[in-house]
Amino acid sequence: MNSSPILHHFEASPFAEKIRAIFGYKRMAWRSVLIPMAMPKPDVTALTGGYRRTPILQIGADIYCDTALIAQVVDRLQPDLPLASNQHPLAPMVAAWADSTLFWQSVMNTQSPEARARIFQGLTPQQVQQMRDDRAAFTSGLKRPSATDAGAQMQSALRRFEQALTDQPWLMGQQATVADFSVYHGLWFITRAGLADSLLAPWPAVRAWYARLAGLGHGSRTDISSTEAIALAAAAGNHAAVEVLPGLGYAAGDSVTVAATDYGTEAVNGTLVGLDTDRMTLERSDPRAGLVHVHFPRLGFELLKAG
């Protein structure tokens, strides 16, 4: 059986581009399932139980949510060219900042009609409206910077990136880390909107770094259908080893919910089978996917006892 990981994604997703670029950096083989850009996503729901952010990573009947966790899993699958090391212990925290603060700065820099037209290029007016309605509900209540503030904030960040990259090839030093790929995907979104020349013009070291990342490619990709992926989950028969550590307020077998704390906050219900200070795992059953384990990072997510 093919054991390469399965990425459920769509081409225009910046967070999916983060993982695709990591596959390229590590020269990995992977399988691709293209999913809808907007709800409903019944095949995604069959695997996750309601989590709807893009992408998700599937390995058999183990489903990994959020790119912070997905990057860790990919690093473990292919330890060559590691993204995590004792030399750069703060890289995950820089990545978390980039995945949230810098990402929304990038989004708010692409609000002009011209930029939005490039982003939505190839979609029908009906599809564009569906996307807008979906994202409005998806991010309801989320506080974002104004376009003016986002422009100033991004230039401040780019100035610091330029300083960091002047004498070293990667943001944290001589070795690429997850921080590079988290910063990259926000700038990739700006590039898709046709704004890279204007926003990155003052920063030659950042432009060279970006070109290097963009040139990595996406590894070796094989397309499969979501039906195939669900069948693989149902046939897997086992899961990655996890355990609930003591002293964290929960016990194995607890009925719990997990939900993101910022946007896309739909809760996933299940039985707790794994918990430590970094991640949590729920077991749930689906009529098509069978018994699946859905894994989440602790950062950015809330764990609650059900009921």
Q: What angle do CA 172, 101, 150 make, to 5 degrees?
A: 115
pLDDT of residue 206: 98
pLDDT of residue 2: 62
| Cα separation, 5 vs 63, whole angstroms | 10
| Number of other CB atoms surrounding residue 84 within 10 Å | 18
Q: Which residues of the chain have pLDDT under 70?
A: 1-2
Indicate the length of the chain as a whole number.
Answer: 307
* Cis check: omega of the bond before 55, within 30 degrees of 0: yes
What is the reported pTM? 0.96
Tell whether 160 is covered by a domain: yes
Tell whether 97 is covered by a domain: yes
Only one residue has tokens 């700065």, namely 105
Residue type, 121: Q
Q: What is the 3-state secondary structure (H, E, C) of 82-129?
A: CCCCCCCCCHHHHHHHHHHHHHHHHHHCCCCHHHHHHHCCCCCHHHHH
pLDDT of residue 1: 47
Tell whether 138 is covered by a domain: yes
pLDDT in tens, 150-165: 999 999 999 999 999 9
Tell whether 135 is covered by a domain: yes
Number of domains in the chain: 1
Q: Are 55 and 34 in contact (CB under 8 A)?
A: no
| Number of other CB atoms surrounding residue 123 within 10 Å | 14
Looking up residue 140, the CATH number of its domain turns out to be 1.20.1050.10
Tell whether 96 is covered by a domain: yes
| Cα separation, 76 vs 249, whole angstroms | 28
Q: What residues contact 204, with CB distance under 8 A and at least 6 apart?
A: 162
What residues make up the domain containing 193?
91-203
Tell whether 27 is covered by a domain: no
SS3 19: helix
Tell whether 182 is covered by a domain: yes
Q: Are 57 and 292 in contact (CB under 8 A)?
A: no
Tell whether 28 is covered by a domain: no
Encoded tokens for 119? 């982003």
Q: Looking only at Cα atoms, what is the longest distance across the chain?
A: 55
